[in-house]
Homo-oligomer: A and B are copies of this chain.
Amino acid sequence: MKIGELAKAAHVEVETIRYYERIGLLPAPSRSPNGYRAYAGGHLERLAFIRHCRALDIALVDVAQLLRFVDDPTTDCAEVDALIDSQLTRVRARLDTLQMLERQLVALRNQCGAPDRAAQCGILHELEAPTRGDVCVCHDEHAQ
């Protein structure tokens, strides 16, 4: 299997595959006489695993850790649980932040009184509020 075929099969960009090889996530395949990478079925499996993890927004360092568990099935897997838990915690924290953010943006959007000059723009006015020490519609400047 050439790199382009692997890319299509795994729904991944060719450059991404080379990148995974470079950082040691995907083992370097053998080469055809012309120097092209020649992949076997195992590579597709591993790449699918990586992409599945990435779809779950698991960081590549964590994916590497999971792959080590896959490669050595005799190890204790409590860390797998912990890894998924911390991932879940991270996602939930980000969800909270984004929900707050959405409320703030909606409040901001409602400031627009349909004027046509920036000088009268309620949104800009609102964004400038904290620079005057005023209370703003967001009420929380430290969201992130």
- CB distance B106 to A99 under 8 Å? no
Copies of this chain in its oligomeric complex? 2
Identity of the chain B residue whose Cβ is nearest the Cβ of A54 in the assembled complex = B144
**Interface SS of chain A:** helix
Interface residues of A in 83-139 (CB under 8 A from B): 84-85, 87-88, 91-92, 94-95, 98-99, 101-102, 104-106, 108-109, 112, 115-121, 123-124, 127-132, 136, 138
Are the C-beta atoms of A76 and B131 separated by less than 8 Å? Answer: no
Binds B, one of A15-23, A25-33, A65-73: A65-73
Whether A34 is near chain B, meaning CB under 8 Å from some CB there, is no
**Chain B residue at minimum C-beta to C-beta distance from A88:** B105
20 intermolecular pairs with C-beta atoms under 8 Å apart: A11-B142, A48-B131, A52-B127, A53-B127, A54-B144, A56-B104, A56-B105, A73-B118, A74-B119, A75-B118, A77-B115, A77-B123, A78-B116, A80-B118, A81-B109, A81-B112, A85-B109, A88-B105, A91-B101, A95-B102
Given contact pairs A56-B108, A127-B49, A128-B49, A77 touches B141 in the complex (Cβ within 8 A): no
Number of interface residues of A (CB under 8 A): 65
